[in-house]
């Protein structure tokens, strides 16, 4: 315990830095590079953050105390100390625990290789294992700096980077590969007969392995994001296809009606000339019946894709006793069809879902305003009660937080792509989603 009391201040300083940097690293991974809905902190978040801080500070004292039970308990908690905080924010998932262990393993292996590179070059004096702690701290700062650079590139739209969630077995496999290679490197560096070339090759090989893992994670994320996007578009595209076919059938009926009407008018003229009013009235009744059968387009916005999608959503709204009205036109050929579908379908799906919960009048009002290069799409819907909106996110229960947040995130992604934004508000039991896009000519 002499070392612990003598170097108390150094230990506290090192672990305060490590604790802050590690928390920042996990915060960036989950809050910046994932599509989790944003929410404000609550008391449980602060409680588990305190737990994280206490375990972080106690770790080195527990390890160097010589008490085996204390070492096992605190040492075990140290590697998963961030997990309760993550569970509280994102829900209880075994994958979060495995993911944290994987990232901790990555940092440990990188730290070990940095230590191998500078072994015998840096002479640190202090408590037992101070070298390990210092190299761990250096590694964590390097990782933090790397994540900050990625975050800045992402926010400036220079480089779109996200981290994917692998399956549990994939994390376990990568964990075992890294651990096995780490043990192999320890054996190489412990072997006095091993030459410097072999040692350097082992470090270079590890660097390539880390680069490969990072590349796989980032590429997989792009693929998964695209698959998610395609999956979300399947249902709207089915609806658009069905509405398109139906509109084509209506147009065919309308063309037939126009052709038949011309013939009917010729006959009607002849009947009037021959002073045969009874048969003329019969022909007029026939025209009325034909008009009753033919239904014109429900929407005519100037954008065929939007018309089909709106008609499909209007049918769904009608099934739930919701009236849906549109004011304005939707720009054609200025927004990519895929982005248009994402924008309209997500906004209307959310509006229908909220409006159908209302016991009284259920309605959705859509307003489309196009002024020069600015397009504003506003969707208002009646709701049961005013919802709380923080940081432009609806506060929802944990059960539906992910589903709701994902739709809003997709809409927000489209608005940002066009240099605009999404604004949510709720007042007097009316929820409004206002999307603004900057369009090119």
Q: What is the pLDDT of residues 200-213, one digit of tens each?
A: 888 899 999 988 88
Residue 375 pLDDT grade (very low, low, confident, very high; cuts 50, 70, 90): very high
Domains of the chain, each with CATH number or no CATH: 2-194 (no CATH), 301-441 (3.30.565.10)
Q: In the numeric block, which tokens belong to residue 179? A: 């651990």
Please give the pLDDT value at position 49: 93
pLDDT surpasses 80 at 277: no
Please give the pLDDT value at position 404: 43
The pTM of the full predicted model, rounded to 2 decimals, is 0.57
Q: Report CA Rg, the chain.
A: 32
Residue 165 pLDDT grade (very low, low, confident, very high; cuts 50, 70, 90): confident
Residue 399 pLDDT grade (very low, low, confident, very high; cuts 50, 70, 90): very low
Mean pLDDT of the 289-313 span: 73
Please give the pLDDT value at position 403: 37
Which position has the token pair 């037992």? 128
Out of 16-20, 81-85, 115-119, which region has the weakest mean confidence (pLDDT)?
A: 115-119
pLDDT surpasses 90 at 371: no
Residue 398 pLDDT grade (very low, low, confident, very high; cuts 50, 70, 90): very low
Share the mean pLDDT of the chain: 80
């Amino acid at each position: 315990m002499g070392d612990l009391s003598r170097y108390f201040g150094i230990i506290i300083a090192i672990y305060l830095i490590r604790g802050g940097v590690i928390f920042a690293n996990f915060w960036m991974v989950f809050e910046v590079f994932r599509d989790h809905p944003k929410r404000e902190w609550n008391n449980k978040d602060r409680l588990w953050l305190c737990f994280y801080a206490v375990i972080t500070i106690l770790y080195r004292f527990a390890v160097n105390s010589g008490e085996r039970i204390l070492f096992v308990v605190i040492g075990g908690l140290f590697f998963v100390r961030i997990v309760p905080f993550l569970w509280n924010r994102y829900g209880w998932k075994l994958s979060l625990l495995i993911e944290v262990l994987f990232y901790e393993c990555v940092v440990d292996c990188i730290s070990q290789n940095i230590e191998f590179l500078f072994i015998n070059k840096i002479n640190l004096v202090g408590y037992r294992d101070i070298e390990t702690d210092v190299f761990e701290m250096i590694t964590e700062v390097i990782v933090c700096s790397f994540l900050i650079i990625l975050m800045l590139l992402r926010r400036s739209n220079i480089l779109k980077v996200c981290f994917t969630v692998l399956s549990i077995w994939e994390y376990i496999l990568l964990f075992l590969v890294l651990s096995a290679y780490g043990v192999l490197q320890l054996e190489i560096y412990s072997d006095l007969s091993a030459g410097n070339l072999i040692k350097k090759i082992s470090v270079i090989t590890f660097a390539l392995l880390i680069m490969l893992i990072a590349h796989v994670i980032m590429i997989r994320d792009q693929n998964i994001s695209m698959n998610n996007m395609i999956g979300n578009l399947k249902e709207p595209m089915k609806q658009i296809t069905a509405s398109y076919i139906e509109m084509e059938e209506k147009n065919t009926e309308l063309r037939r009606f126009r052709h038949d009407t011309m013939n009917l008018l010729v006959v009607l003229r002849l009947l009037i000339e021959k002073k045969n009013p009874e048969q003329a009235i019969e022909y007029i009744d026939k025209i009325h019946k034909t008009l009753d059968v033919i239904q014109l387009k429900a929407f005519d916005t100037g954008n065929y894709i939007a018309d089909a999608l709106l008609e499909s959503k209007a049918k769904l709204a009608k099934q739930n006793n919701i009236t849906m009205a549109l004011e304005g036109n939707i720009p054609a050929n200025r927004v990519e069809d895929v982005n248009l579908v994402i924008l309209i379908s997500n906004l209307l799906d959310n509006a229908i879902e909220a409006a159908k919960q209302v016991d009284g009048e259920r309605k959705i009002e859509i307003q489309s305003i196009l002024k020069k290069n600015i397009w504003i799409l506003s969707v208002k819907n009646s709701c049961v009660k005013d919802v709380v909106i923080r940081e432009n996110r609806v506060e929802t229960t944990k059960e539906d937080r992910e589903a709701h947040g994902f739709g809003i995130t997709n809409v927000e992604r489209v608005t940002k792509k066009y240099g605009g934004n999404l604004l949510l508000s709720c007042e007097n039991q009316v929820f409004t989603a206002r999307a603004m896009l900057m369009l090119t000519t």
